Chains A and B, each alone.
Chain A
Amino acid sequence: MQKTFDIPRELMTEEELLQPGMLSCQGCGASLAMKLALKGLGERTVVVIPACCWTIINGVYPYSALQVPVIHVPFETAAVSASGVRAALDARGEKDVVVMAWAGDGGTFDIGIQSLSGAAERNDDILYVCYDNEAYMNTGIQRSSATPVGAWTTTTPAGSIKEEPKKDIEEIMLAHHIPYMATASVAYPDDMYMKFKKVRHITGTKFIHLLSPCPPGWRIDPSKSVQITRMATQAKVFPIYEVRRWRFSKKRGRLEESWKYTINIYPDRELSVKEYMKAQGRFQQITEEMLHDVQERVDRKWDELIRKADGRPLTPNE
């Protein structure tokens, strides 16, 4: 495994806030991701869960795998429910508690995007995490607007695989002028841990997009889920980066803003989109033409990212 950077030992607690007994599938990225997220955030965290795999994973009444407060909320309300909890905790003087909305791609890209957009525009002081397994996996693999081109799902069956590109959720969120946006995955746990550690100290709406492998939905062997997720980053399909927005007052009281892009993981080996996709059962129907288009899009986005991350803060028109 590629070593990105060392986590200082004293930062990593031995205490597990995710206990055994949860109901995830073998090789589930979402459960591993929660474990790492809570390692970074610590116990003064409230988790807000809309309808998603984690509704099940956390356990059936009267059990709960998480050792922090959890509130389950309707499908499309993750962000605003978190805003409500935030407002109440502020009223109670518990400002240091992090309120984390933890939603799937359906709850984020599709049904929950209105409430997410509202919370982000208000810059409510919440952390919103989308663990993106690229389809409605909890209901049995139906396409969402996060499903990539060429993927088979039960609603994009053989002969009708998905043709539309995935929504660019990172840019959508950045267009809301939020202070922090990052991508991460369980394939780079040290990077992910550090990001969750960091957001605790950022006020406003933080958005973290996790690529979250789903063996049944991706048609992969559970033992390969971390490896294939790493291939997504190596093929630059899912770059690992972060964007920090800064606001500062210039002379005459003008408010300026800028964005600093940082690519956190430069892959140790380069893969083609085809190599990444052909490693998964869900892409077996993809055509050469589709692969070509995806490769072009991926290359273009990577080039843009490199340009944005050249160390110079970007001004609004760039």
Chain B
Amino acid sequence: MKQVIKGNIAVSHGVKLCRVKVISAYPITPQTTIVEELSEMCASGELDAKFIKVESEHSAMAGVVGSSSAGVRSFTATSSQGLLLMHEVLHWAAGARLPIVLANVNRAVGPGWNIWADQTDSLSQRDTGLIQIYCESNQEVLDSVIMSYKLAEKVSLPVMLTYDAFFLSHTSEIVDIPEIEQADEFLPPYNPEFRIDINNPRSFGGMIGPDYYFEERYVMHKDALEALEYYQQVCKDFKEIFGREYDICEEYRTGDAEVIVVAAGTITSVTRIAVDRLREEGKKVGLMKLRIFRPVPVERWRKVLGNAAKVVVMDRNLTAGLGGVFASEIQAALYPIENKPMVYPVIAGLGGRDVTPDDVEGIINYALSNDEPTDVPLFWGLKE
């Protein structure tokens, strides 16, 4: 059934369709309406879940670590400072191999207080072991919740799906809400091999010395990589039932492109417009949309970007003293390639500053007219 809904409501519908049993969450702008919507759903009985209204995000994540350990499908959502407060428990959830799904609304990190779109929050969690999925539309947000549980439960790792503050969280779009029967067909009930089980007592997460820890982390790494393989199957199954498809990274007019822009989140949508305009001018440009960022799809990136002359990486995030996170990782992935493309790292749209198709056109033209980047990174639109 098609409805015009905001990104946060789309997440809540996804959670309902997955028959989540425990929710543990704390309100933060701009995630708040997820918490409100899910509270309504639980109160009305529309969703048969226990909602633990915790006193902080740290506890929100710890609550779902508890519930997921006891073998039920669990969900939480947050943003910005809240995600940073969860940091310790994110590592814990991944290390404990718990298939929790977390929705993060990408918002800038303070100070000063800024509630607008910025991806520094989720990118600063890139070493926690969570799978990271970046979404571009409200439909993709809803669908990604359902896909995330399938992926998480197969590889026993938590998934964080993220989308931009306000551009998606508070913007209404047409979303095709799947039927519960479709969701049930795609996502069977969660029944883990190991859980807190009173009839089969085990100890979880205790002391582990140097003799086992190393291998245990290696297995976690291998399983994270396996998630990339398995994701292909998830995509295929999803398409069969729901008719929609979301590739690990989407290629848009990249076939013969000499310049490829790499973007994640809503900047992707404006980049598409810029690419179309420049194509009309006969310029060979394309777009690679980053969707799965952890685990890193290195081979795929190399395949898509390897033949381009220039790669422009748009980062709506900043690691002070380095630059953009995406650019740094794309460069690392391309390093072993012979005749590798020239990378143009661009920082744009920090703290929710608008990035328009004109901006992206300007950025691409900058790359076209310079044999190598003039600034690394280039802060686009920086005021004097």
Contacts and interface: CB of A to CB of B under 8 A. Distances in A.
Interface of A: 43-44, 46, 48-49, 55-56, 58-62, 64, 66-74, 76-77, 80-92, 94, 97, 114-115, 117-118, 121-122, 124
Contacts of A122: 52-53
Nearest to A23: B207
Given A70-B203, A115-B58, A115-B59, A92 B72 contact: yes
Given A61-B207, A72-B203, A73-B62, A118 B70 contact: no
A77 B91 CA distance: 14
Contact of B202 (A44, A64, A115): A64
A118 B56 contact: yes
Interface in B52-97: 52-56, 58-59, 62-72, 74, 88-89, 92
A222 B74 CA distance: 45
Contacts of A124: 52
15 contacts: A61-B206, A69-B200, A70-B202, A71-B205, A81-B63, A83-B66, A84-B22, A84-B74, A85-B66, A88-B22, A88-B68, A114-B59, A115-B56, A115-B58, A122-B52
Given A76-B58, A84-B64, A88-B67, 14 more contacts: A48-B66, A55-B206, A59-B206, A61-B209, A69-B201, A70-B202, A73-B205, A84-B22, A84-B67, A84-B69, A91-B49, A91-B67, A91-B72, A122-B53
Identify the 6 closest CB pairs spanning chains A and B, nearest first.
Answer: A84-B66, A118-B55, A88-B70, A64-B203, A77-B62, A72-B205
A36 B71 CA distance: 29
Interface residues of B, number: 41
B50 interface: yes
The residue in A72, A121, A124 that gathers the most chain B C-beta atoms within 10 A of its C-beta is A72
Interface of B: 21-22, 24, 49-50, 52-56, 58-59, 62-72, 74, 88-89, 92, 196-198, 200-209, 212
A305 B186 CA distance: 61
Interface SS of B by simple majority: mixed
A68 B196 CA distance: 10
A81 B208 contact: no
Contacts of B59: 77, 80, 114-115, 118
Given A72-B203, A92-B70, A60 B55 contact: no
B145 to A, nearest CB: 19
A91 B21 CA distance: 7
Contacts of A64: 202-203, 206
A124 B55 CA distance: 13
Contacts of B72: 87-88, 91-92
Contacts of A77: 58-59, 62, 65, 89
A122 B54 CA distance: 8
A121 B52 CA distance: 12
Nearest to B72: A88
